Amino acid sequence: MHRSGHHAIINWVAGLFEGEVLFANNVAYDDRRYERYQFLNPPVAGAEYRDAYIFNVEDTDLATVVSDMEGNRWGTRLGPSDRVFNVLVVRDPLNMFASRMRHKSPHISNLTEDSINRWKQHAREHLSRSELLPADTIHIFYNAWFESAEYRKDLAKRIGMPFNDKALNVVAQWGGGSTFNKLSYDGNAQAMGVLTRWKDCQDDPVYRSLILEDEEIVELGRAIMGQVAFDRDFGSPASFIKR
């Protein structure tokens, strides 16, 4: 989803490869501001094959995304691949929707009933409460990826690549970089307060009504993070009572 942190993860995954990595951003949205294809790792002269080809789809209905990809709805097929990975990235709802609220993109519905329901759908899939994606889909919780080198090591192993963090501190350029810091932390992304963005919005009445006081969002967030970790980072649900 938009502002889920998935661009940072895409940059990191590209950094696991030594050779050419091609990327197509948000293929379901025809964004004329950018060339569709960009190289995350530079092209290799004379290379017959790329090391990796990555594309992402944002704010998408998981009930149809597999058939859309299989039917080449977005024209993403560029040739055969030795291995194909489907990945679902989920970020905690409080920080993700704070970033969406402050981003104010004219191209994305940032804080709407549709976007909230879409996050809930993604969260339920991440928690195995639904089976909309293939069973071998790699599930990534952005908060854990950001905080834990061990989590990233396990993820690299699942992808089948030697672990490194060489692209960990790159700030993704798409969408103007970080909502709060733009590109100013490029090269030092781990110093950004991406796990405390919600504090900037906690007193906003719209944010409180749509996010903090939505019992299902809080329940799903606690289920993903674990109750102790969620309450440690955000406070207990009782603290979200409307002021």
176 contact partners, CB below 8 Å, separation of at least 6: 182, 183
Strand segments, DSSP code E, in 27-106 are: 37-41, 52-55, 87-90
CA triplet 103, 108, 111: central angle to 5 degrees?
A: 65
Of 38-52, 187-201, 207-221, 229-243, the poorest mean pLDDT is in 229-243
Residue spans per domain, the chain: 6-240
**pLDDT per residue over 87-105, tens digit each?**
999 999 999 999 998 876 6
- Which pTM value belongs to this model? 0.88
Residue 60 contacts residue 69 (beta carbons within 8 Å) = no
Highest mean pLDDT among 61-75, 102-116, 208-222: 208-222
Give the model's pLDDT for residue 78: 82
